[in-house]
A and B are shown apart, each in its own frame.
Chain A
Amino acid sequence: MSKIVRFCADMLYPAIVIFGLYVIMHGHITPGGGFQGGAVVATAAALIIVAYSYEEIQGMLSKFLLQIQESAGLVMFAGVALIAIGLGTTFFYNYLANSGLLFGMSVPFGPNPGELNTGGFLPLMNIAVGIEVWGGLAIVILYLLSGIPKEGT
């Protein structure tokens, strides 16, 4: 693509990534969550692939690292749920809610402004799913757009 498109893509890339991470991190307070935020971050990868060509981004987006990231997200999701069995409760029991530890603050009933340090393991789950969807959709886009011809050839 032209220089203007590449410059705009460079400017938008960190903004899109930060917005996606915000959606992931605030999934238990505002609308959104892991799936939506991960999809938003994956569009940043799509933007950078479209603005540059597939050969030029080989060093920036590594398929191997994205595969590791996707697998790590799924393993973290199942692992956080499995810890509950180790604590003597059932699978997917929310052992961090109302505990006073990490993300352990209580929430009053009814409408309230919201607090980031709440939700038990829901923020951890959102982060895990966000990492997984980020890696998965980015690698799908990377594979699907690998056929875009190089500039000027």
Chain B
Amino acid sequence: MRRELSVLIMIILAIFLFIMAAGFTFGSPLETDMDDYFIMNGQEQIATNNIVTTIVFDYRGFDTLGESTVLFTAVIGVALMFRMIVRGDSDENE
């Protein structure tokens, strides 16, 4: 019963999303102000050919700082976890 219900919910969601996506046409987004600004002014202001790098490292620099911090925190977490596991193993062996 629960299985049929979940399948039914999935089908309804899929139909809903397809109907929503059918309303858009590919290649003509509704809002283009931000894209146009980056494309027209990126090369002049930041002196870079790669607009994606311009956005990621300059216009959205705070975002990249957060990304780097998230990676740093993830590495610290992995190091802490495995250090605990390794220490526990060595305690058992000794």
Asked, given contacts A108-B43, A144-B78, whether A74 binds B69 with beta carbons under 8 Å apart, the answer is yes
How far is A50 from B49 in the complex, measured between Cα atoms in Å?
38
Return B39 CB to nearest CB of chain A, in Å.
10
How far is A140 from B83 in the complex, measured between Cα atoms in Å?
12
Do B45 and A70 have beta carbons less than 8 Å apart? no
Do B58 and A92 have beta carbons less than 8 Å apart? yes
Cβ of B86 under 8 Å from chain A = yes
Return B54 CB to nearest CB of chain A, in Å.
7
The segment out of B1-9, B28-36, B60-68 that lies at the interface is B60-68
Q: How many residues of B contact A (CB 8 A)?
A: 29
How far is A144 from B85 in the complex, measured between Cα atoms in Å?
11
Return A32 CB to nearest CB of chain B, in Å.
9
Contacts of B15 in A (CB 8 A): none
Cβ of B37 under 8 Å from chain A = no
Asked, given contacts A118-B49, A122-B53, whether A78 binds B79 with beta carbons under 8 Å apart, the answer is no
How far is A123 from B43 in the complex, measured between Cα atoms in Å?
15
Cβ of A149 under 8 Å from chain B = no
Name A66's closest neighbour in chain B (CB-CB).
B75
Do A136 and B75 have beta carbons less than 8 Å apart? yes
Mask for A101-145, Cβ within 8 A of B = 1, else 0? 000111111101010001110100110010011001001100110
Name A110's closest neighbour in chain B (CB-CB).
B43
Please report B residues at the A interface, Cβ cutoff 8 Å. 43-50, 52-54, 56-58, 61-62, 64-65, 67-69, 71-72, 74-75, 78-79, 82, 86
Please report A residues at the B interface, Cβ cutoff 8 Å. 27-31, 33, 35, 67, 70-71, 73-74, 77-78, 81, 91-92, 94, 97-98, 104-110, 112, 114, 118-120, 122, 125-126, 129, 132-133, 136, 139-140, 143-144, 146
